Each structure stands twice: as C-alpha cells, then as structure tokens.
C-alpha cells in the first residue's frame, strides 16, 4: 500500500513522494518520523491507519534510533517493546 507523505514530517523527500508501507523499512521510517517530529494529530492519524499492534512492533525495531526521552515515553505507553521485535 502506497501512502503520500506529509511534507512537514518528510521534508527530505521529493514533493509528491509516496512510500510503500508494506515494506517494513518504509513503515518504520514513517513511525520514527511521526513519533519524533509529529504533532498529536499526526500520531492519531498513524494509530488510526496502522493500528497499535503494528506500531508497537515497529517500535521494537526502531527504538535504538530514537532519542532517549522519546523512546522512554513510548516504551512507557507500549510497555516492553522487546517482545514485539523479531
């Protein structure tokens, strides 16, 4: 499934870029950018579109790339994300 990207979150991509969210690397990029730089509405939209289980699984894969304070916040929300990572 391709999804257009929000220019505010993905300023580094070309205008009109779309990401294939069925590719885990792209999905993880979207989750990372959203939880680090997104507004409340961005996060709500991500949760509504992807679902909490998919986001928790992604958090297990990307937590090493998140700033410590953001990682701690989301780990508090999701619990131990190690159980979600493959």
- Cα distance between residue 26 and residue 40, in whole Å: 21
- For residue 37, is pLDDT > 50? yes
Helix (H) or strand (E) holding 27: helix 24-37
Read off the pLDDT of each residue in 46-62 and give the average, rounded to a whole number: 93
Q: Which residue is it, tokens 């961005």?
A: 42
What integer is the mean pLDDT of 5-20? Answer: 84
Query: Does residue 81 surpass a pLDDT of 60?
Result: no
pTM for this one? 0.82
Using a pLDDT cut of 90, give the percent of the chain over it. Answer: 56
Residue-level pLDDT at 86: 46
Q: Which residues contact 24 (CB under 8 A, 6 or more apart)?
A: 58, 61
Give me the mean pLDDT over the 56-70 stretch. Answer: 93
Total count of domains within the chain: 1
Distance CA 17, CA 34 (A): 16
Distance CA 49, CA 76 (A): 22
Q: Would you state the pLDDT for residue 80?
A: 60
Instruction: Tell me which residue range forms the domain holding 11.
Output: 2-83
């Amino acid at each position: 499934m391709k999804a257009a990207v929000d220019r505010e979150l993905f300023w580094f991509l070309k205008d009109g870029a779309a990401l294939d969210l069925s590719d885990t690397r792209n999905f993880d990029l979207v989750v990372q950018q959203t939880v680090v730089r997104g507004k409340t509405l961005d996060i709500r939209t991500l949760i509504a579109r992807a679902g909490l289980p998919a986001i928790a699984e992604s958090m297990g894969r990307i937590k090493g790339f998140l700033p410590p304070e953001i990682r701690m916040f989301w780990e508090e929300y999701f619990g131990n994300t190690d159980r979600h990572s493959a």
